[in-house]
Chains A and B, each alone.
Chain A
Amino acid sequence: MIQLENVTVTFDGSGSVLRRVSLTIPTGDFVYIVGTTGAGKSTLLRLLYCDACPSSGTVLVAGQTLERLRPTDIPRLRRRMGIVFQDFKLLPDRNVYENVAFALRVIGASNREIRRRVPDVLELVGLIERYDAFPHQLSGGEKQRVAIARALANTPPLLLADEPTGNLDPETSCGIADVLERINQLGTTVVVATHDKHMVDTFRKRVVQIEDGCIVRDECPGYYDAAGGATA
């Protein structure tokens, strides 16, 4: 599903954010990317959804070599992945149903498809009862569930989550982790960049630790260990 070979990312005016990173994530895997702030976790995810370009090395996502991708092909690749952010990125003037449907409408889905698909994903994240609530009427955990539902609306084989529990308390984080695990059990590859020790240690999966742009640990299953000590 995902393959990085000797990938280095350098942004103008700064040093290398990722340095000679090699990583393979097979289809159906669940991977936590952990590391300190500025270690390069988010950049790794940005690479995968084509928001950053590698300075050198090869990135393969869903059989596509990203360096060879033309700009017109990027939207098509993004339709094959769902992306979830820490700040939810919900549209405040639309209710839960419309926020999820929005993701389908902008890729040209038919009304019939939208009517069929939206209730399904809301059911999956446990928000079907709250379909007509607006974001300001939802708790943080509920907002993140809507964001996950939106990311899944197009049934993507890959889900990328960048600090999905960053704004949530430990109990709510567990709820989100539970949803992510269920999604993974349905066959979707899940990659989560996180600081959430509680989530990583409770829902034990493969852990890839990045420090200073390099992978320093890759364990399955692993614990959250920001210091880099091996605890398999």
Chain B
Amino acid sequence: MRLSSFFFLVDEAGKSIRRNGLMSLAAFSAVTVALSVFGGAVFFLYRLHQFAAAQPQRFVIAVFLQDDASRSTSTDVERRIQGIPGVTETRLVTKEEALGELMEEDRKRGTRIVDALAGANPLPDRIDVRTASPERSRSVAAVLRNETRFPEVAAVRDEREMLDKLVATSKLVRTLSAIVAGLLLFATAVLVQNTLRLTVIARADEIQIMRLVGASPAFVRLPIVLEGIFYGVAGAIAASLLVILVLSQLSRYTASFESPLAVGMPPAPGPWMILVVLMATGLILGLVTSVISLRRFLR
């Protein structure tokens, strides 16, 4: 394609946007509103997913050793636990450290459990074990409970029920998020496609003339596709600004009562990430919907 032809097509797309001022405004507004709702909902669902996914990671398997286990035995058991597939991290908490933790708990809660012990330390050495995924916890805990392999272990606490519920919830949130995001994207695409179809109908004569004088389908399609991309990207930029503005106001408001459950959650996607995701969505939407809108006219 000649450079002059390309500039002609870009100019045609620009002219059409200016000429159909009200229609262009409608298309731009439709994309902005639809992508704002989509962007806001996806951000919320993504945070919900991050939150649900972060919960099981907070849980560790606590392995209590026999009272008479020597320090070297504890170190040896820790080394063997590290060899179990799926284990990512271990931490040996000696009985002295465990007592220190208990004293700290007493101080925080205002209890006097350590005082009641009258200088004795009945706590055993403990090994905290983290696994690669919450789903692996069950199999790792089963290995640790095997008395033949780990006779030094007195008890294993893995909060199995709690973990199972959280894993199930996290999966449910992930599935629901994907379905809701998919439905929203579909609704956005239908809205944008309908608006673009109106702009295509407004150019029906032009398209017919182009075809009759022998313009190739690509040449007929390009100005409309460029127009669709323009609406998609421009609408996405406006939607991003709107979403970023609303989220920044919301985060200022919610920061004052942040739940302790949110501690350890990965950081929220930044403004650039929102802009890039929405712009990519807008671009693809504009491209696909304009091609679909043109299909009937190019038959």
Contacts and interface: CB of A to CB of B under 8 A. Distances in A.
B206 interface: yes
B213 A103 contact: yes
Contacts of B1: 108
A83 interface: yes
Interface in A40-95: 49, 72, 75-80, 83, 89, 91, 93
A206 interface: no
Nearest to B5: A108
A93 B214 CA distance: 21
Contacts of A80: 214
A173 interface: no
How many B residues are at the interface, by size bracket? Answer: 20 to 34
A118 to B, nearest CB: 13
Contacts of A19: none
B214 A79 contact: yes
A106 interface: yes
Given A108-B5, A110-B2, A83 B212 contact: yes
A39 B106 CA distance: 102
A154 B214 contact: yes
A206 to B, nearest CB: 25
A195 interface: no
A105 B8 contact: yes
Interface stretch (B162-170, B215-223, B256-264): B215-223
Contact of A78 (B2, B19, B214): B214
A101 to B, nearest CB: 10
Interface string B56-90: 00000000000000000000000000000000000
Given A79-B214, A108-B219, A103 B209 contact: yes
A93 B211 CA distance: 19
Nearest to A106: B215
B210 interface: yes
A89 B203 CA distance: 12
A91 B213 contact: no
B205 A89 contact: yes
Given A78-B214, A105-B8, A106-B215, A89 B2 contact: no
Top 9 A-B pairs, shortest CB-CB distance: A79-B214, A78-B214, A106-B215, A103-B213, A75-B214, A108-B5, A106-B210, A75-B216, A83-B212
Interface of A: 49, 72, 75-80, 83, 89, 91, 93, 102-103, 105-108, 110-111, 150-151, 153-154
13 contacts: A49-B212, A78-B211, A80-B214, A89-B212, A91-B205, A91-B209, A102-B209, A102-B213, A106-B214, A106-B215, A107-B215, A110-B4, A151-B213
Interface of B: 1-2, 4-5, 8, 15, 19, 205-206, 208-217, 219-220
